[in-house]
Structure 1
């Protein structure tokens, strides 16, 4: 218990608790489209994570606000992407997202129930997969190194929420065999992509400095995962650390978007 208490104090002293508010605006170019389409991936995971935290009565007011805001932002950005798309392929992909989103949103906005959690996780997986196809299609329209980095950096936002999602599912002791594997895979993918981002030749000084901060934060965050080995789950702490990861990667994705091509 002492280790958990000490880790909690470090979290509260070193990490910001809020995520920057996203400004709503029409999409004007491909860079912005990739950024927003990538953010949709993150929102699919953030919505499920918030539901799982609410179901465990962990920061219920904050978790409820995050879920409501995430649902609204996903809906808003989906409309923006639909208005921006001139490609029949991407328009068709967006129709698939819209269809899947309707059922997913109904599940996510209902009162949290443990017996519905796995159904919601699986629905979130489908929305994530469909949203990812749109990012890939948009990136292929240009093929530039810059847009590849916007995609990769933006995906880290999603992975931060995916890590929190599966950690929360494990802490709630949900009955699905692959939860631990999904959590472990998300951690590994975040680690690998962070290394790739830091080695990118497109980076400027500001991006490298921001990534160095994330690397330090990530190392600190992973120490919290070690508590799981003794079944000492600390979902509040992991929710807090992943919020810091999300906030930092949101900023870095914006830095990539603003690079001169």
Structure 2
């Protein structure tokens, strides 16, 4: 009897999870459906749905791949925006990790005075929304002559403390005995970091870098404030403008925008989950 109840409970849970996943996946199905349909029919369907009576079906049965092929293979604007998004995302993630890793090592492993105060400042800055820092960032970039320049988009993102805080949470779990053993063997700090710290934190570094790439891939506000040249804009801005001008033609760029994120998440899903679990699994500090 207990076995039957357990099986029924598991079946009910699986059914509920499947239903929730399906409901959450409906927007993706609509996106694929509209991206592979005739844009004229897509716009007509949108007008019918958004009309006064709200009549009309959501899904479009007739497919027309010619518009999808034309936009993905013949649009230099789409290709340029896609390349910009890729370069910005990779550049921001690389810059953040280069700056965040030494900061996290210093906060977590070096016994220096005032590190609690510095960590508190990091947490305060991390909690500040972009709207609070946009004016100081704009004035700083204007003084440096970096407005409407790719570096104007990269530089402010390099100093966001999110990556440093997550790396700190990962590094603080390293037992201090490992560091002391390396010092007793005569290793300097460079060798300690390279041969002990880096191998122990590879999963965390990879997970945080992937999260930053995905986050930078989705950014909208930063390009709007710091860039004016359309040739420098990422794909997210191109989609936004397409929605404002011709909603029926915005679904192909949206699908192109979504595919890399899904591919990256499907490939590195386990690494992201393992890295996040390792960071937040145990909040206790290392021994010593």
What is the TM-score of this pair, normalised by structure 2?
A: 0.27
Kindly name which structure, 1 or 2, has the bigger radius of gyration based on alpha carbons: 2
